[in-house]
Chain A
Amino acid sequence: MSIAYDTIAFRSAKCDGCGECMKACAAVKQGTSRISIVPGARDGAFEMALCRQCGDPKCVMVCPAGALSKNAGNGIVDWAADRCVDCLLCTSGCAYGAISADPIGGRVIKCDQCGGDPACVGACPTDALEWGSAGSIYNRFGDKEDMFVPGLAGCQGCNSELIMRHVMRRIGRNSVLATPPGCIPGMGSVGYNGKTGTKVPVFHPLLTNTASMLAGVRRYYDKIGRKDIVVMALAGDGGTVDCGFHAVSGAAERGEKILYICVDNEGYMNTGMQRSGATPYGSWTSTTPVGDKLKGKTQDAKNMPMIMVAHRAAYVATASTAYMEELYDKLDRAIEASFHGFSYLHIYSPCPTGWRVPANKVIEACRLSVESNFVTLWEYTPEAGLRFTRSPDRPVPVVDYARTIGKYRHLDADQLAHIQAKVDEQVALLKRLAGEVSAVSAARAAAPEDSSTSAGAVPPPLRHETFRP
């Protein structure tokens, strides 16, 4: 397996030019900052110069002294002070302004990512700088076994296939998987002609009984003393928020120890793109068409993860494939929680076919959905309450997101205003849940001896935290 590297990403839209990153860098490097933020073309816009630790670094190739080299272990382009002859040739190789003569002292300076914990990222108050540790994820999981056969029949660019493969690669063979009707079994994971497409025991429940069947499977494993099996579902939004809702709700209420993953592509996509209860307002679907009168769906989507919070499930989280580090972190916690109670992970999954998004723009759609707060990323446990894992502050307008999605192309200003208002309302509600719900004392929250309710206490106050990677 080749090796991948972590990196610092810059989101110019979030940068307000405060310069904290430069101060932090100058402080740890005891000199001139290696990162430079400069005013952009528009008022209030900012641009950045920072070493990208190029895979094909030109600074290295023009150095006559062998003072620069690409470190194969961590990807950093290293500078060897003792070999450098201060000729400045490297500054002519770099098109990013990322290696330059230090005004103090005159030697060249460049970013070394502070050994994997960059000071600038930690100092950025707006999350404009992010530490992208996708490289580490790849190194950790890249050579783990893919639990699905090659050649599943998902559409080109299918985000759900990405989710299935990542999730099961992490969970591995010690699992029993339910895939109720939807794209996931539809693309071949349950198999064809008597052969399964999945390398773990997989079954195909009805839309209506997934969570109930899993509850039985778990109880059986408990009975025979197998505590190590992840009993789980990869279900679509239709099977979760509509047809299977009562089963999910019941299992959560009973505290069944299962991992329920909802892959939400906002509709019944494999049967011809019908609307579901998770389809957002205004969406074109085959059952909410766009014509003279109708202009897409006329109702708002229900927020299933919030409904699961109301069940006080052992773990509830939302995730997006644009933020893989988070997705993996939450997956770890969700697996762990599924051995103690009902664990619910809701992963948003733009559908290139049904949403009319080009295959190569799917991840961008994921990212914009989060950056606009159309989708919020958070997690909940009864003990710690609800916590944003990605700050919902400073969102981009929802219209920036909607514009990239074909199923919203027809939306008029009023409809967009409605969606924006709904997004704002959701965020306000989540913020209240995250920050303003008063703590219940542990004594009062603890369940009596003989009750079958999970003994979840609620000691610490619920709080609003900003995620710092």
Chain B
Amino acid sequence: MPEAKYLLVGSSHAALEALRAIRRLDPDGSMAMVTRDGALPYSPTVLPYVMSGRSRPDAVILRDRAFFDEVGCRFVSGVAATGLDTAARSVRLADGTQWRYGRLLVATGAAPAIPPIPGLDTVAFHVLRTLDDAVGLRARMGLARRAVVLGAGLVGLHAAETLAEAGLSVSVIEMRGQVLPGYIDAKASARIEAAFAGHGVKLLLGRTATRVAAQDVGIAVTTDDGRTVEGDLLLVATGVRPVTDWLAGSGVQVERGVLVDGFLRTSAADVWAAGDVAQGLDFASGTRQVLGIIPTAVEQGRIAGFDMAGDAGQKPWVGGLPVNTYRFFGRPAVSVGQAAAGGDGFEVVEQDLPHLYRRIVLAGDRLVGIASVDDPFDAGIMGELIRRRVDLAAVKDAFLADPTAIGRRLMSEQWR
């Protein structure tokens, strides 16, 4: 039975950062990384660019074999974990192997959530989460004229843009009344919607797909207002769900994701979880949420890794902050924190100019969220101002006028 002091399941951002953290404290402890994907580590975020052809599939690899040899980590790919026995401290793999572990990291991320739309199970459709998905979509894309995308979140919009730029006629169906719901406010999304419309993408906002049916050629999607949208290619991008099925029966507590504490420990001894699979502290609400972004996956991976390696000086996590940097047709949209918040207790200052849009949300003279379109800012600095709850009372007007300059100044002062 193979065994490792540190067993990492998953090979994306969270697991890679945990590996790095562990190796900083424990250069020699035996380690293995097991992943379902057949490829070397890569990021799901880069997939729209693989789909568009901008990035070659072999050029998005984040770590090569030599890296794993160098850091002394066995890399076992193309085989999924199917079960966990915390009493025996072992993980069962799809090929029947049992891995014994000293400390286990669950970093299996998320997978597309497939909505229960009648008929969807009878047709061929695409998702975008793995390299194979992207390569498959790219191949299919070349043969199609019309595409239907379900969902106008980051994945749906990225894909819709790629499809439109490739010359397909694209329709996007979104249940909510705006694109990127939850990330940005309606005014910001209006600018994005206008850009998509300008590039010929049909956005059906506030519409629910009620039925999907196969046609002689392609598919047809019926919406709740009785309309039918036809396509040769269907992409489902209605959200993701943490990959926790393999933990069933293990006793590891799972709600929406794997529940973790401030050190990314799960309810089971010697089992940690990080990244899209984990449900951990959310900075703003103080509740446990699945955040589903790279910065959180990296932060969690690091803390989990340090804790797994027994870091005595570890401080509990302050919680995750939504951070999104998004480009549509070359234009930047950035949001950090509670950028869409408003109402009681919040002070919202918007700049709604023809060439840019900026929205700053304060609470008690402290920054809690900021978003912009066509006006990129230092997202990392804004995140720090929010996390450190820096009092902006003395510089408020200046900050509202030029958040970049004042942000840089404040951080420079803080670092010295």
- Which A residues have a C-beta under 8 Å from some C-beta of B? 12, 36, 38-41, 47-49, 58-59, 61-62, 64-66, 83, 85-89, 91-97, 100-101, 106
- Taking Cβ atoms with an 8 Å cutoff, the residues of B that contact A are 13, 16-17, 20, 43-46, 49, 54-55, 59-62, 294-295, 298, 302, 323, 325-327, 330, 332, 334, 336, 376, 378-381, 383-384, 394-395, 404-409, 411-413, 415-416
Residue of B nearest to A108 (CB): B376
Select A91's contact among B49, B380, B411, beta carbons within 8 Å. B380
- Please give me the residue from chain B that is nearest to A88 by CB atom: B325
Q: Is B49 touching A62 in the complex (CB atoms < 8 A)?
A: no
**A41 nearest in chain B by CB position:** B413
With contacts A83-B55, A96-B381 taken as known, whether A62 is within 8 angstroms of B294 at the C-beta atoms is yes
Q: Judge whether A85 and B46 touch: CB under 8 Å.
A: yes
Given A12-B416, A47-B413, A66-B61: A85 and B49 interface contact (C-beta under 8 Å): yes
Please tell me which one of the listed residues A38, A65, A66, A95 contacts residue B383 in the complex, with CB atoms under 8 A apart: A95
A65, B17: Cβ atoms closer than 8 Å: no
Q: Please state if A38 and B43 are interface contacts (CB–CB under 8 Å).
A: no
Contact of A89 among B45, B54, B409, B412 (CB under 8 A): B45
Residues of the A chain whose Cβ atoms lie less than 8 Å from the Cβ of B406: 38
Q: How far is the CA of A66 from the CA of B409 in the complex (A)?
A: 30
A450 to B393, CA, bound (A): 79
Most buried by A among B20, B59, B325, B327: B325
Could you tell me if B404 and A91 are in contact, using CB atoms closer than 8 angstroms?
no
27 A-B pairs with CB atoms under 8 Å apart are A39-B409, A41-B394, A47-B408, A49-B411, A49-B412, A58-B380, A61-B13, A62-B13, A62-B294, A65-B43, A65-B60, A66-B61, A83-B60, A85-B49, A86-B327, A86-B330, A87-B45, A87-B326, A88-B376, A91-B325, A91-B376, A91-B379, A93-B298, A94-B378, A96-B412, A96-B415, A97-B381
17 new A-B contacts, CB < 8 A, other than A83-B55, A95-B411, are: A61-B13, A61-B298, A62-B13, A62-B295, A64-B13, A64-B46, A65-B43, A66-B62, A83-B59, A88-B327, A91-B325, A91-B379, A91-B380, A93-B380, A97-B381, A97-B407, A106-B330
State A58–B45 Cα separation when bound (angstroms): 17
Chain B residues whose C-beta falls within 8 Å of the C-beta of A92 in the assembled complex: 295, 323, 325, 334, 336, 379-380, 383
Q: Interface centre among A38, A65, A85, A95, by most B CB within 10 Å? A: A95
What CA separation (Å) do A93 and B379 show in the bound complex? 8
A61 to B302, CA, bound (A): 10
Tell me which residues across on chain A come within 8 A of B16, comparing CB atoms: 61
- B383: shortest Cβ distance to chain A, in Å? 6
CA distance A49 to B332 in the complex (A): 22
How far, in angstroms, from A97 to B405 measured CA to CA in the complex?
10
The reply to whether A91 and B62 contact each other, CB–CB distance below 8 Å, is: no
* Closest A residue to B384 using CB positions: A95
CB distance from A82 to the nearest CB of B (A): 8
Q: Check B43–A64 contact: CB distance below 8 A.
A: yes
Residues from chain A with a CB closer than 8 A to the CB of B416 are: 12
Sorted nearest first, the 7 A-B pairs with minimum C-beta distance are A64-B43, A47-B412, A88-B325, A64-B45, A92-B379, A101-B376, A97-B378
CB atoms of B383 and A87 under 8 A apart: no
Shortest beta-carbon distance, B358 to chain A, in Å?
A: 14
Q: In this complex, what residue of B is CB-closest to A36?
A: B408
Chain B residues within 8 Å of A96, by CB? 380-381, 411-412, 415
- Which B residue sits closest to A102, measured CB to CB? B376
Give chain A residues whose Cβ lies under 8 Å from the Cβ of B381. 94-97
For B298, list chain A residues within 8 Å (CB).
Answer: 58, 61-62, 93
Given known contacts A65-B55, A95-B381, A95-B411, A89 and B405 CB-to-CB distance under 8 angstroms: no
**In the complex with contacts A41-B409, A48-B412, A85-B376 CB distance below 8 A:** no
Whole-angstrom CA separation of A443 from B359 in the bound complex: 76
What separation, in Å, do the CA atoms of A95 and B45 have in the docked complex?
22
Nearest-Cβ distance from residue B93 to partner chain A, whole angstroms: 27
Quick check: A97 and B404 within 8 Å, CB to CB? yes
Chain A min CB distance to B207 (Å): 29
Evaluate contact between A88 and B45: CB separation under 8 angstroms.
no
Closest residue on chain A to residue B297 by CB atoms: A62
> Which A-chain residue is minimally distant from B331 (CB atoms)?
A106
A59 to B44, CA, bound (A): 17
A12 to B412, CA, bound (A): 10
Q: Hey, which chain B residues are within 8 Å of A83, CB to CB?
A: 55, 59-60
Closest to B21 in A: A56
Contact residues in B for A38 (Cβ distance below 8 Å): 405-406, 408-409, 412
A98 to B16, CA, bound (A): 24
Q: Return the chain B residue nearest A87 by Cβ.
A: B325
CB distance from A68 to the nearest CB of B (A): 11
* Chain A residues positioned under 8 Å from B20 (CB to CB): 61
Question: Nearest Cβ distance between residue A170 and chain B, in whole angstroms?
Answer: 32
- A93 to B20: give the CA distance in the assembly, Å: 16
Closest A residue to B333 using CB positions: A88
Contact (A88, B332) CB under 8 Å given A39-B409, A49-B412: yes
- Least CB distance, B168 to chain A, in whole angstroms: 21
List chain A residues, Cβ under 8 A from B405: 38-39
Residues in A neighbouring B13, C-beta threshold 8 A: 61-62, 64
- Nearest CB of B to A146, in Å: 25
A150 to B117, CA, bound (A): 75
Query: Known contacts A92-B325, A97-B407: does B380 contact A65 (CB below 8 Å)?
Result: no
CB-CB < 8 A to A40: which residues of B? 409, 412-413
- Hey, which chain B residues are within 8 Å of A59, CB to CB? 380
A47 to B415, CA, bound (A): 11
Q: How far is the CA of A83 from the CA of B336 in the complex (A)?
A: 25
CB distance from A79 to the nearest CB of B (A): 15
How far, in angstroms, from A36 to B381 measured CA to CA in the complex?
14
Query: A49: which B residues are within 8 A, CB to CB?
Result: 378, 408, 411-412
Within the complex, the shortest CB–CB distance from B193 to chain A, in Å, comes to: 20
Most buried by A among B323, B376, B380, B415: B380
* Minimum Cβ distance to chain B for residue A422 (Å): 31
**Bound Cα distance from A64 to B109, whole angstroms:** 15
In the assembled complex, the Cα of A451 lies from the Cα of B358 at a distance in Å of 81
Question: Hey, which chain A residues are within 8 Å of B409, CB to CB?
Answer: 38-41, 47
Contact partners of B295 in chain A: CB under 8 A: 62, 89, 92-93
A100 proximity list for chain B (CB < 8 A): 376, 378, 404
CA distance A93 to B55 in the complex (A): 22
Distance in angstroms from A324 CB to nearest chain B CB is: 21
A85 touching B379 by the CB < 8 A rule? no
Question: Do B294 and A64 touch across chains, with their CB atoms under 8 A apart?
Answer: yes
- For B44, the closest partner residue in chain A by CB is A64
Given known pairs A47-B412, A49-B408, the reply for A88 and B55 (CB within 8 Å) is no
What's the least CB distance linking B309 to chain A, in Å? Answer: 15
Min Cβ gap B269→A in Å is 28
Instruction: Tell me whether A97 and B46 are in contact (CB under 8 A).
Output: no
CB contacts (< 8 Å) of A62 on chain B: these are 13, 294-295, 298
Q: In whole Å, how far is B57's beta carbon from the nearest beta carbon of chain A?
A: 12
